[in-house]
Amino acid sequence: MDILNDISVAGPEVLLVAVGLIGVLIGSLLKDAFNGLSRLLGALALAGAAFLAAGQSTGDAVSAFNGLYKITPFIAFAKTIAFGVAAVALLMAGEYLHRENMNKFEYTLLILFGCVGMGVMLSANNLMTLYLGIETLSLSSYVLAAFNRDSRRSAEAGLKYFVLGALASGLLLFGCSLVYGFTGFTGYEDIAASEQSLGLTFGLVLILMAMCFKASAAPFHVWTPDVYEGAPTPVVTFFATAPKLATVALLANTMFTVFGVYEQSWIIIVGAVSAISMLVGAFGGLAQNNIKRLLAYSSIANVGYALMGVAAGEVNGASAVLTYMTIYVLTSLGLFGVVLAMRRRDGQVESLSDLNGLSTSRPGLAVALTVLVFSVAGIPPMAGFFGKLLVFEAAIQSELYWLVAVGVLASVVSLGYYLKIIWAIWAKTTEEESLQPADSMVAVSIYGTTLLAFPVLVIWIGTIVTLINTTTAAG
């Protein structure tokens, strides 16, 4: 039957929806008794969704629901990493939520439904499905940002995110309306086969702007530092990893497949956004003393590097974008694990100065943070260097030499704030109380991602690149 085939194709999202709805029912009955169990069930559901998506990454492209939904190896691989990272981020949140009196089963449900949105928007094969997926993720994200109801900063972060997100949603709908108005279609294949017009180009640009907002690319980044600083740290860990990868993969897939024939209309725009993001992220981070705000600017810069691969086009840039984002989100998982571990007896700390003397008080954590910082900075021979090398190579192959020059400049400038972290860890001392031991799941995440970034294990980069090259070629 067609409906059974459709459900099979959308297996990861169907699983998450089913577990989420069951969680709503059980939570309404058991209430607080379900809080701890909900995280375990949610993580298992996300791991199951990642497993199902991984099984789809080796097959051919397939459509479902009358062409509204489509799976390609490229999208399936992006889902696999996004769902897997979301599962780890959910498990990392447990002790923090308990300490801060936020241990509610609704947190898990919001993560699950947000991941449903990620899956739907990635597999969208129609502008209406795209909007449905993006808004499902966005609505969950707004509530997550303000999840700490007793915190003024968290409420402010949620409000800023909601107001600016509503503007981005309006741009997306306006862009979709223009595309539909000037082509008469909302399906991706039909739009790709339509004749180019000025109205279609305007619609394309508006859709691109909305996606750049969701990815926190400059100059649509203004919400990012405030939300990263104000939202609860486990929420920021989620924001900085799974949705980040999903949104960049969505942007790349949309530009390559829907608007690929209009490449000359958007390639310079994506290149400009990439350059602005790299520069804003590099210079903006120099003045930051709050480590969450610093990592927010770092994420803006890294989205810029990823967009360099998008600007390089599908042939040269598809595998580079996916490889870069895979390495980046895994490294970010470890970095925000360190932020979660920055805790003293009187509570969480976030200032850069709180890392002073870490090499003396917590040498293992100091080494792990150093490796992770070097990786995200792109310093050889860490894993992040190879990711950055791939997007630079893709841009060179597409003769975007000016963009490569901007990327090199931004990389050098951003070393200023990455080295501030290293200086605080290894060169400074402190008389303050040392940080408390990290929670078990947080520690596993920190040291696990450190191993993936460490030069001894860079052989996995070759495996990942080979796998991604296979999936992008098949997609």
Calpha distance 304→372 (Å, rounded): 19
Peptide bond into 219 cis (omega under 30): yes
Q: Measure CA 164 to chain center.
A: 18
| φ, ψ for residue 323, nearest 5 deg | -65, -45
Element (H, E) at 287: none
Between helix 242-253 and helix 105-123 the angle, nearest 10°, is 10
Q: Picking from 133-142, 192-201, 440-449, 463-472, which range would have the lowest pLDDT averaged per residue?
A: 463-472
Between helix 198-214 and helix 127-145 the angle, nearest 10°, is 30
- Using alpha carbons, select from 280, 284, 282 the residue that is nearest to residue 272: 280
Residue 258: CB partners within 8 Å, gap ≥ 6? 188, 191, 192
Calpha distance 32→14 (Å, rounded): 26
Residue 256: CB partners within 8 Å, gap ≥ 6? 310, 313, 314, 318
- HEC readout, 160-221: HHHHHHHHHHHHHHHHHHHHHHHHCCCEHHHHHCCCCCHHHHHHHHHHHHHHHHHCCCCCCC
Contact (CB, 8 A) for 439 and 337: no
pLDDT at 408: 95
- For range 345-367, the mean pLDDT: 84
Residue 25: both structure tokens together? 């029912």
Q: Measure CA 467 to chain center.
A: 20
Calpha distance 74→16 (Å, rounded): 20
pLDDT one-digit tens code per residue, 160-218: 999 989 999 999 999 999 999 999 999 899 998 888 888 888 999 999 999 999 999 98
Residue 252: both structure tokens together? 């790349």
- Residue 110, classed as helix, strand or coil, is helix
Between 315 and 219, name the one with better pLDDT: 219
Q: What's the chain's average pLDDT?
A: 88
Q: Is the pLDDT of residue 300 over 90?
A: yes
Confidence of residue 35 (pLDDT cuts 50, 70, 90): confident
- For range 315-320, the mean pLDDT: 84
Which residue's structure tokens are 């969505």? 250
- HEC readout, 315-352: HHHHHHHHHHHHHHHHHHHHHHHHHHHCEECCEECCEH
Count CB-CB contacts under 10 A for residue 5. Answer: 12
Identity of the highest mean pLDDT range in 48-62, 93-107, 111-125, 355-369: 111-125
pLDDT at 139: 93
Confidence of residue 281 (pLDDT cuts 50, 70, 90): very high
Annotated domain spans of the chain: 2-474
Q: How many residues does the chain have?
A: 475
pLDDT one-digit tens code per residue, 255-280: 988 887 778 778 899 999 999 999 99
